[in-house]
Structure 1
Amino acid sequence: MNSPIWMPPSQGLFSIRSAWEQIRDTSQPLPWASTVRFKGRYPRHSITVWKAMLNRLSTKDRICRINSAIDAKCCLCNAVPESVDHLFFKCGFTSWIWKAILWRALIEHEM
Structure 2
Amino acid sequence: MDFWSLSLECFQVFTTYEVLRPRQGIKDWVDVVRFKGGIPKHAFTIWIVNYDRIPMRSMLAAWRLPVSPTCPFCSTYDETRDQLLLSCDYKKDVWREVLLRCQPPSVMFTNWSEFLSWIRSSPSRKLMLLRKLAVQTVVFQFWKQRYNLIHNQASLPAATVFYGIEKELRNIISARKLRKHFNYLMAMWLR
Provide the rounded CA distance (Å) in 1 between the counterparts of 2:10 and 2:40.
33
Alignment-derived partner of residue 67 in structure 1: 64
Alignment of 1:62-101 (within 5 A): 62-101=59-98
Alignment of 1:12-91 (within 5 A): 21-91=18-88
Count matched residues: 101
Q: 1:90 to 1:18 in 2, by over 3 A?
A: same
Q: 1:40 to 1:10 in 2, by over 3 A?
A: farther
How much does 1:47 deviate? 1.6
How much does 1:89 deviate? 1.5
Provide the rounded CA distance (Å) in 1 between the counterparts of 2:10 and 2:94.
55
For CA contacts below 8 A with separation 6 or more, give which structure has more relative contact order.
Answer: 2
How much does 1:23 deviate? 3.2
Provide the rounded CA distance (Å) in 2 between the counterparts of 1:62 and 1:20.
36
Q: Secondary structure at the match of 2:76?
A: coil
Q: 1:93 to 1:18 in 2, by over 3 A?
A: farther
TM-score, normalised to structure 1, is 0.72
Gaps (5+ residues) in structure 2?
1-7, 109-191
Provide the rounded CA distance (Å) in 2 between the counterparts of 1:53 and 1:19.
31
Q: Secondary structure at the match of 1:70?
A: coil
How much does 1:24 deviate? 2.6
Alignment of 1:1-16 (within 5 A): none
Alignment-derived partner of residue 174 in structure 2: none
TM-score, normalised to structure 2, is 0.45
Q: Percent identity?
A: 22
Provide the rounded CA distance (Å) in 2 between the counterparts of 1:21 and 1:75.
45
How much does 1:107 deviate? 3.1
Q: Secondary structure at the match of 2:60?
A: helix
Deviations 1:30-73 (A, max 9, x none): 12212211111111111211121211111111111223421011
